[in-house]
Amino acid sequence: MSMFRLIALAGLVLWLALPARAAIEIREVTSPGGIGAWLVESHDIPFVALEIRFRGGTSLDAPGKRGAVNLMTALLEEGAGEMDARAFVRARDALAASFRFGSSSDSLSVSARMLTENRDQAVALLRQALHEPRFDADAVERVRGQVLASIRSDATDPGRIAARTFDRLAFGDHPYGSAPDGTEDSVSALSRDDLIEAHARTIARDRIYVAAAGDITAEELGALLDVLFDGLPETGAPLPGRAEYGLGGGVTVVSFDTPQSVAVFGHEGMDRDHPDFFAAYVMNEVLGAGGFESRLMKEVRGKRGLTYGVYSYLYPMDYAALLLGQVASANDRIAQAITVIRDEWVRMAAEGVTEQELEDVKTYLTGAYPLRFDGNAPIARILVGMQMEGLEPDYVNTRNDRIMAVTLEDVRRVAGELLQPDRLHFVVVGQPEGLETTN
Amino acid sequence: MHAIRLAFLAFLLMALPTRAENVAAFTLENGLEVVVIEDHRAPVVVQMVWYRVGAADEPPGKSGIAHFLEHLMFKGTETLAPGEFSAIVQANGGSDNAFTSWDYTAYFQRVAADRLGLMMQIEADRMANLRLAAEDVLTERDVVLEERNQRTENDPGALFSEQRRAAQYQNHPYGIPIIGWRHEIEGLSKADALDFYETYYAPNNAILVVAGDVTADAVRALAEEHYGTLAPSQALPERIRPQEPPQRAERRLTFADPRVGQPYVLRTYLAPERDPGAQETAAALTYLAEILGGEGANSVLGDKLQFDAQTAIHSSAFYDGLSLDATTFGLVVVPAPGVTLAEAEAALDAALAEFLEEGIDPTLFETLKMRMRAAEIYALDSVQGRARRYGAALASGLTVQDVQDWPAILQAVTPEDVMAAAHAVLDRANAVTGWLERPAESRSEVSQ
């Protein structure tokens, strides 16, 4: 990308299929410095919501440094440039700006809200946090203490134990197989140099995704992007490779003294760019994702009162894909809940969905989709997520057509391929009656 | 330096627009209060119906009945089968749910704006025509028991909080948990649910809030059509609960559970709430919570406990003035490794004493005022959030005028007001202090 390239408004102006006066116009903006972003301009409220992602996230921890990216990210707001942690927070609060830094297995995220009134100052401050974090010794120790407390709390949380156990069994040594915030030992051992290294590995120009929504023009956004990102390193650590799924069917019980067992279950899923993804999505909506209307909710909760909530969801990540679910039932009822869930897996794999179910789910999914775009903050989040998934802006116009194109036969075929009752694995944390770890 | 910064802030405060909220309010002849919030940015509408009844209005021995009834409201009417309500909402691309608090029970749907009439039709239907099958009631009671397992029995922090509230409110029913005590949930019946329903679910005990891509006139016409025909209750009880007497002695409790991963100290003081036409003290306490325990570096407790001395890894303060009767002002300190709960509490008390002596940094106070005002701008982004703000306030005894006055009342708060409120509330004789910890014998074990 040429440094001298002018802001290209890209000609690509798209309209979400909504009543005309509420249509959402997505513009692709490229800054003079070559950073791309998507913009929905809306001058109703005098602020802008900005969402930034750096692909890679906690999966870019250096070998032996588990938790470095998580701790580094938490320190971005703890002092930058000439400002120590107190001064930084004071400067931010004086502008009434909001910056949230987060990290996940696939990305490092920045969510910002800035008033139009003082946006330039807020952007300058955010730039400092991204470019010049100080990692002062006292701040490192303070935040390290918070991370360690969180790790200790997770260690006695049955839901967390279940999810961590499933991940470990599924992905082993791949970063997806361990807690992104690290262990007490790994976090305790991190040095300031490790944090500087984690920063260099993750925050780089070749992995940036940006979306903005609100009171800002394309020209202003272009300038903002260069203020934020000019001077960041071109590249960081190489992205991780594919994670091999290594778990077979069965049950793993983790004994934990608590009245209600929590189960996480699942097996391999489907990548977001798979041609059958929409059929799988529709199938799972009927199976376990559709609020009170899903088969799992009706069978496990509605008919039998075995749980307060049971869900299944497609979980495509950058380097693996899962079909996951969760349920919690009293220790003397969890075995029955699991039996019902298995039966539903078998039934769906064999029969697919009914014509009525397919029609209902299509109506719901296509009707609900435009309702998501109901504010600057949600719009910016959706737009940055689309970019991370490799979708085009035009997706907002074609998505409902793709849902409508799914046929009964598609769902039956994909259910038969995707759902594998004999590979379904349940990790159960609690004192479940009548359940034991299988081999 | 200070003078320059203050001048700069003053400029910003002038420059931030005060925005017309575009809110209309009216009352139908049968007593249903209606609030309409227009926001035409997206073709979405949120309908919320709030009943002025919650867990603090339950008959003795029937704790959990308000919440149980909330579940049962999805179990059918004369014309709708069990579950059909949510099925209709979903078939129209919408989502729906409900929630219960001590002071209110609320039901909501979020749908495309052109489906509002249908949503009103089915919501009005279940306001008057609930029909329950005995077996559905028993199955749903099991669901509620699993909900209690999930939210409370499986979470030592939630059990601790339940015990603390029970210690705080010795006379007022705020001391019972919203979901109910387990032994009382187990005994709740269909008759209990229907009694409660007949007594409290009526248009003259409800508030309809509609927010989104609608006009007040259109909402009025639809509301007249669907809700206007419902008869008001003639026997609605006056909303009078046993009030909490002044607390005269400090209360303390220690809750030990091997499932505690991270011990902490939590203290709540009995505190005044927002009252109609009298929200000034609550506004001052809203500032006090931010000043003492807002985000990290800029708060008094963060400064003294996490920065000056590394006694704590986390500290915060919380206060919610939306409450029909006396509310609480809370403080939390999570000690750093090697610091006992006794030491953490002592450090908290020392920090509070210093604060009461030193007062408030004027620059930080002006910053906070600016942030309160900016929060009003950011809040405009969420239609559902704005609907909740009105519904919760009206169900908690406030008026539309009180809601609209609140931002200006916040802007009028002075540091002196905050210090006066702090001196009045921050008294241990007026508080419950709780320690959440692991039992002594398991503290040395490695957590699993």
- Give the C-alpha separation, A260 to B182, whole Å: 14
Q: With a CB-CB cutoff of 8 Å, which residues 206-245 of chain A face chain B?
A: none
Give the model's pLDDT for residue B298: 81
- pLDDT tens, residue by residue, A213-264: 999 999 999 999 999 999 999 999 999 999 999 999 999 999 999 999 999 9
**Which of B236-240, B273-277, B304-308 is predicted with the least confidence, judged by mean pLDDT?**
B304-308
How far A86 CA lies from chain B's nearest CA (Å)? 5
- pLDDT tens, residue by residue, B251-265: 999 999 999 999 999
**Which of B395-399, B427-431, B440-444 is predicted with the least confidence, judged by mean pLDDT?**
B440-444
Give the model's pLDDT for residue A23: 60
Task: Provide, rounded to the nearest whole percent, the portion of chain A with pLDDT above 90.
Answer: 92
Q: Say whether A250-430 and A13-229 share the same fold.
A: yes
- Give the chain B residue nearest A87 (alpha carbons): B297
- Does residue B2 have a pLDDT over 60? no
Token pair belonging to A278 = 């929409």
Of the candidates A246, A360, A251, which has an alpha carbon nearest to the alpha carbon of residue A295?
A360
Of the candidates A117, A109, A141, which has an alpha carbon nearest to the alpha carbon of residue A45?
A117
- Does residue A90 have a pLDDT over 60? yes
Rounded CA Rg of chain A: 23
- pLDDT tens, residue by residue, A200-226: 999 999 999 999 999 999 999 999 999
Give the model's pLDDT for residue B442: 64
Measured between beta carbons, which residues in chain B are less than 8 angstroms from residue A88?
Answer: 297
- Give the C-alpha separation, A352 to A419, whole Å: 10
**Average confidence (pLDDT) over A385-406:** 94
- Give me the residue from B91, B297, B368 closest to A360, CB to CB: B91
DSSP-derived letter for residue B94 is: -
Interchain contact A155–B (C-beta under 8 A) = yes
Angle at A312 between CA A306 and CA A318, to 5 degrees: 155
- Does residue A312 have a pLDDT over 60? yes
Q: With a CB-CB cutoff of 8 Å, which residues 302-321 of chain B face chain A?
A: 303, 306-307, 310, 313-314
- pLDDT tens, residue by residue, A137-153: 999 999 999 999 999 99
- Give me the residue from A21, A260, A368 closest to B150, CB to CB: A260
- Does residue A190 have a pLDDT over 80? yes
| Torsions phi, psi for B442 (to 5 deg) | -105, 0
- Give the C-alpha separation, B110 to B47, whole Å: 7
**Which of A156-160, A287-291, B147-151 is predicted with the least confidence, judged by mean pLDDT?**
A287-291
How far B156 CA lies from chain A's nearest CA (Å)? 10
Give the model's pLDDT for residue A189: 98
Interchain contact A152–B (C-beta under 8 A) = yes
CATH 3.90.650.10 fits A13-229, yes or no: no
Residues of B annotated as catalytic are: 70
Q: How distant is the alpha carbon of residue A263 from its chain centre?
A: 21
Measured between beta carbons, which residues in chain B are less than 8 angstroms from residue A256?
Answer: 259, 448
- Does residue B20 have a pLDDT over 70? no
Token pair belonging to B131 = 């029909």
- Give the C-alpha separation, A36 to A225, whole Å: 8
Give the model's pLDDT for residue A17: 37
How far A305 CA lies from chain B's nearest CA (Å)? 5
Picking from B19, B72, B90, B214 by the largest number of A CB atoms within 10 A of its own CB, the best residue to mutate is B90
Between B448 and A43, where is the model more confident? A43
Give the model's pLDDT for residue B85: 94
How far A33 CA lies from chain B's nearest CA (Å)? 30
Give the model's pLDDT for residue B369: 94
CATH 3.40.50.720 fits A250-430, yes or no: no
Burial B235-252 (b: 16+ CB within 10 A, else e): eeeeeeeeebeebeeebe
Q: What is the pTM of this model?
A: 0.92
CATH 3.30.310.40 fits B251-442, yes or no: no
**Class level of CATH domain B23-226:** alpha beta
- Give the C-alpha separation, A345 to B369, whole Å: 55
User: Helix (H, G, I), strand (E, B), or coil: what is residue A255?
Assistant: strand
Strands (E), A34-140: 36-41, 47-55, 79-80, 83-84, 98-103, 107-115
Measured between beta carbons, which residues in chain B are less than 8 angstroms from residue A149?
Answer: 261-262, 313-314, 334
Give the model's pLDDT for residue B309: 84
- pLDDT tens, residue by residue, B30-42: 999 999 999 998 8
Token pair belonging to A438 = 């299988």
- For tokens 């082993």, the residue is A172
Which ipTM was obtained for this model? 0.90
Interchain contact A400–B (C-beta under 8 A) = no
Give the model's pLDDT for residue B21: 67
Q: Taking the domains of chain B in order of start, what are their residue ranges?
A: 23-226, 251-442
| Torsions phi, psi for B15 (to 5 deg) | -80, -25
- Does residue B131 have a pLDDT over 70? yes
User: Helix (H, G, I), strand (E, B), or coil: what is residue B383?
Assistant: helix
User: In this complex, do B154 and A88 lie within 8 Å of one another by their Cβ atoms?
Assistant: no
Burial B164-194 (b: 16+ CB within 10 A, else e): bbbbbbeebbbbbbbbbeeebbeebebebbb
Of the candidates B370, B364, B344, which has an alpha carbon nearest to the alpha carbon of residue B291?
B364
Which pLDDT band, with edges at 50, 70 and 90, does A10 fall under? Answer: very low
- Give the C-alpha separation, A400 to A324, whole Å: 24
User: In this complex, do A145 and B310 lie within 8 Å of one another by their Cβ atoms?
Assistant: yes
The 3-state secondary structure of A261-286, one letter per residue = EEEEEEEECCCCCCCCHHHHHHHHHH
Task: Tell me the helix, strand and coil percentages in chain B, rounded to 5.
Answer: 50, 20, 35
Q: Are strands B44-51 and B206-212 parallel, antiparallel or unpaired?
A: antiparallel
Q: Taking the domains of chain A in order of start, what are their residue ranges?
A: 13-229, 250-430
Which pLDDT band, with edges at 50, 70 and 90, does B296 fall under? Answer: low
- Does residue B247 have a pLDDT over 90? yes
- Give me the residue from B40, B378, B448 closest to A256, CB to CB: B448
CB-based burial label for A101 (10 Å; 0-12, 13-18, 19+): buried
**Average confidence (pLDDT) over A57-69:** 97
User: In this complex, do A153 and B9 lie within 8 Å of one another by their Cβ atoms?
Assistant: no
- Give the C-alpha separation, A411 to A278, whole Å: 9
User: In this complex, do B334 and A149 lie within 8 Å of one another by their Cβ atoms?
Assistant: yes
The answer to whether A176 and A105 are in contact (CB under 8 A) is: yes
**Which of A49-53, A370-374, A424-428, B231-235 is predicted with the least confidence, judged by mean pLDDT?**
A370-374
How far A307 CA lies from chain B's nearest CA (Å)? 5
Q: With a CB-CB cutoff of 8 Å, which residues 78-137 of chain A face chain B?
A: 85-86, 88-90, 93-94, 96, 98, 113, 115, 117-118
Q: Say whether B251-442 and B23-226 share the same fold.
A: yes
Give the model's pLDDT for residue A121: 98
Give every CB contact of residue A290 below 8 A, 6+ residues apart in sequence: A297, A361, A364, B90
**Average confidence (pLDDT) over B129-139:** 96
User: In this complex, do B110 and A371 lie within 8 Å of one another by their Cβ atoms?
Assistant: yes
Between B440 and B110, where is the model more confident? B110
Tell me how far CA of residue A206 lies from CA of A232, A260, B241, in angstroms.
10, 46, 62
- pLDDT tens, residue by residue, B207-219: 999 999 999 999 9
How far B132 CA lies from chain A's nearest CA (Å)? 14
Give every CB contact of residue B303 below 8 A, 6+ residues apart in sequence: A86, B297
Interchain contact A154–B (C-beta under 8 A) = yes
**Which of A6-15, A244-253, A425-434 is predicted with the least confidence, judged by mean pLDDT?**
A6-15
**Average confidence (pLDDT) over A305-328:** 97
- Give me the residue from B261, B303, B307 closest to A157, CB to CB: B261
Between B11 and B320, where is the model more confident? B320
